[in-house]
Structure 1
Amino acid sequence: MLSTIKIVLVETTHPGNIGAVARAMKNMKMHNLWLVAPKIFPSADATSRASGADDVLAGATVCRTLQEAIADCQLVIGASARGRTISWPELTPRECAEKILINEPGNGRDGSQQSCGIHTIPGDKVAIVFGRENSGLKNHELDLCHFLLRIPCNSEYSSLNIAAAVQIVCYELFVTSGLAAQEEIFVGDKGEEPLATAAQMESFYTHLAEALTDIGFMHPAKSKSIMRRLRRIYNRIQLDTKELDILRGILRMSQGHKRNTDV
């Protein structure tokens, strides 16, 4: 799905930025990198900044002109932070991802299009074009684009590093494509223990009320209000059975300590 989307860099000055872009792309399962007249490439700097995304660099296509890079594309989107005298239809990164990856009814090749304009169909090739580090895309290059992609950010400091800009756009494409849901990573023991049942939670709440009363924290007149708030806290957390066992062990130890000090 993402393989038909080209990330196109125009006249990149610093080879390290090319490597950083390759890394950003691979993070989001994208590999189709095109370089228009880069100042220095290949380069050890690019390889170093790629941090393992050497395959993206090795597969990069280098060409002389932007026209050559986008010649086979049905949709071309140019990224720019600068305002323009003549306005282009604008997209945010999320809108860009939706336009590329979500096919809306009534936007097919039969000529019927809704007011939202061009959408792709499976198999269409798309180019997302990023300009020079210091000056971005020139107007004649934007003339080749269907849309202008603008990343919302601080209006007083809107200049993004090119790799950061590519990362944001690729992230939105990754999430919209559905691949992010397939890449869920469990950290530590997350998900290993089943969640506590309603019956187990009720037994815990009974034990909790007893322990809080035993240690003098809770008084009968205030018990309903306190327990209601404690229920809200633990219900938000969604305890698993192991966590519940740990908490009940703490309650038993607290009760035992209180009895020993009372003797």
Structure 2
Amino acid sequence: MLSNIRIVLVQTFHPGNIGATARAMKTMGLTELVLVNPRTFPDEEATRLAAGATDVLENARCVKTLEEAVNDCVQVVGASARLRSMPLPHFDEPDEMAQQVIDNAHQAPVALVFGRERSGLTNDEIRCCSHQVSIPANPEYGILNLSQAVQILAYEVHRAWRKRNASGYEYQRPLEATPPSRQQFGYFQEHLGRLMQQSGFLTQPHARTEEQLQALFARAQPSRKELSLLRGLLSAFEAHLPKQ
């Protein structure tokens, strides 16, 4: 199950942070590292700071976009220290996030996403996520190093996994309740946006209506079966629109 939990670093500037992240991951049993456009990789500094976790580095994948890194994931949690205007589901406590991640990782890949050292994740990158999580810290100095943030969330995930194993309880999600992948959810969002444009529902190009509706469905967290029903409904409506 831990092999289904993916750590994604977006545009990491300092290669040493990649190495330190690999070390933080390995101490908590995580092995799946994906790098989105790192400034430098492979790099000797990354290898040096990995301190015995070079196998995680050697197996790391480099991709061009965040979408490519998480398209097959059923849950994507963006780590963000600041509030966003887009109302995605938000975990105020990392342990709550970890319990849900462990539940989802039983059946499909999930991802924890971390942004740039200085500026974190952009709003567009947050939109690629299904959830957000913050790490409670000193409000007067809440600055965490990238690898420290990875270590904290990785620890919470490993702790939730240990508790689940110790209890002997194994969560089995019904097949019809399986969450959609981010790619499947993206297809739905594109379909919804296209239909709103074609129907004339969207008349102001700069209005946030489309974004707000997409956030609504993100908070609802429909299953794959429910999302398929919604897409069928959209297709039925679309068939009655005038051809353009």
Question: Cα 1:132–1:121, aligned 2, differ >3 Å: closer, same or farther?
Answer: closer
1: CA distance, partners of 2:53 / 2:130: 30
CA RMSD of aligned residues (A): 1.7
1: CA distance, partners of 2:129 / 2:89: 10
2: CA distance, partners of 1:59 / 1:152: 31
Q: Tell me by how many angstroms 1:88 deviates.
A: 2.8
1:64 corresponds to which letter in structure 2?
A: K
SS in 2 for 1:177: helix
2: CA distance, partners of 1:14 / 1:82: 22
**4+ residue stretches of structure 1 with deviation over 6 A?**
179-182
1:163 aligns with 147
2:73 corresponds to which letter in structure 1?
A: C
Question: Cα 1:54–1:150, aligned 2, differ >3 Å: closer, same or farther?
Answer: same
Count of residue pairs brought into register by the alignment: 165
Q: Does 1:99 align with 2:104?
A: no
Which residues of 2 match residues 91-240 of structure 1 at below 5 A?
A: 91=91, 92-102=93-103, 120=104, 122-178=106-162
When normalised by structure 1's length, the TM-score is 0.60
- For structure 2, the residue ranges without an aligned partner over 5 or more in a row are 167-244
SS in 1 for 2:6: strand
1:17 corresponds to which letter in structure 2?
A: N
The answer as to whether partners of 1:75 and 1:126 remain within 8 angstroms in 2 is yes
2: CA distance, partners of 1:44 / 1:94: 34
Rg larger in structure: 1
Q: Tell me by how many angstroms 1:125 deviates.
A: 0.8
2: CA distance, partners of 1:55 / 1:34: 13
Q: Tell me by how many angstroms 1:86 deviates.
A: 3.4
Q: Tell me by how many angstroms 1:128 deviates.
A: 0.6
1: CA distance, partners of 2:164 / 2:85: 38
1:52 aligns with 52
Q: Tell me by how many angstroms 1:180 deviates.
A: 10
Q: Tell me by how many angstroms 1:23 deviates.
A: 0.2
Q: Tell me by how many angstroms 1:146 deviates.
A: 1.1
Q: Does 1:76 align with 2:60?
A: no
Percent identity of paired positions between Structure 1 and Structure 2: 48
Q: Tell me by how many angstroms 1:80 deviates.
A: 0.6
The answer as to whether partners of 2:73 and 2:109 remain within 8 angstroms in 1 is yes
Which residues of 2 match residues 2-13 of structure 1 at below 5 A?
A: 2-13=2-13
1: CA distance, partners of 2:87 / 2:142: 18
SS in 2 for 1:156: coil
Q: Tell me by how many angstroms 1:121 deviates.
A: 6.2
2:221 aligns with none
